[in-house]
Structure 1
Amino acid sequence: MIKNDIYELYQTMERENILLSFKGEVTSELMSSVLSIMESKMDYMEESPKMKKKVFNVLVECLQNLYHHIDSGEDADKNLTRIEARSALFMIAKKDDHFVIRTGNYIDNESALDLQKRLEMINGMDKDELKKYYQDVLSNGALSDKGTAGLGMIDIARKSGNRLEYQILPINDITSFFCLNIKID
């Protein structure tokens, strides 16, 4: 039975042209490994330097978001195991002339509401407005309790040049699952 499951997973990954997929805790060592793997894959695929740079910039921001913003486990939903609460999922796929980066992680419902508001605001801005907003946050933004200034999503939108597709799936009264889909062309 397990052989069939693995084969089905393999077929799905082939059909979706998934270059790299990971589920687990995002560490600084993992980020380095992922970037190295993607560098090799993109060299092999003979991607243009411009496309490589865009993919790398967005990938770094996505991985940093997962690294910095996953629940520490102390305040995590008691219905989730510590491993689940610290776990994230990301995939990188090549579709025709563009790349797609997908991420997913658990998030507390209060943070999910704040994130949704910020993403809607970011998605409502054009290129010039995003640039100005980025500069405003950079010069005026206070650091969060996680040591970040909240520039990640703004930067992802700017560097991808596309709207940030997302979905927040309610899990229970405390927790949701945040899914982000980024097209890079």
Structure 2
Amino acid sequence: MKRKVIPIISLVLIAAIVFTIYNGKNKLKVPTIENISSMKIIESSVGASPKKELAFDFGKKEHVDMANNILDWMKSGKIIDDTNDKVTNKGGNPTSLIIESKDGTKIQIEAATYDIETKVENGVQIEKQNANGQVKLFISNTKEPMRELSPSLSSFLNNGWKNFFKYN
């Protein structure tokens, strides 16, 4: 009896480990609205120009609703593997959405871009090209940024936040 139980238990444990590793790679752990301490937009900037911050006011229903939409977009997005993303600071900072949870985790989200390099006489010229429908996520305590296919979240970061905050 013991000889049959040990292989079965071993198979169950191996399956659980494989399933956990697979889910960990393809699923983004998204906080719930109750676990968020703050959420804000930081406007894009170039050089040392001041950055404007627009904070979500969780006392306003429309802000809570939009925060829930953002969390839903994050949950429904698809993680994209093998993007070879590098953290660069060429040409300024894009508009960012910063989510801070009550446990101290910080998530920074930006519209994803690709670098297009063109050789010129004295070196290389780099132009940022929008990666349609994709966002880049930087999560505290992780080494590499992640890229997620989330057209609604990408659209919000590109221009939707301006309409939401009635900005400019």
Normalising to structure 2: TM-score of the pair? 0.28
More strand by share: 2
- More contact order relative to length (CA 8 Å, sep ≥ 6): 1
More helix by share: 1
Normalising to structure 1: TM-score of the pair? 0.26
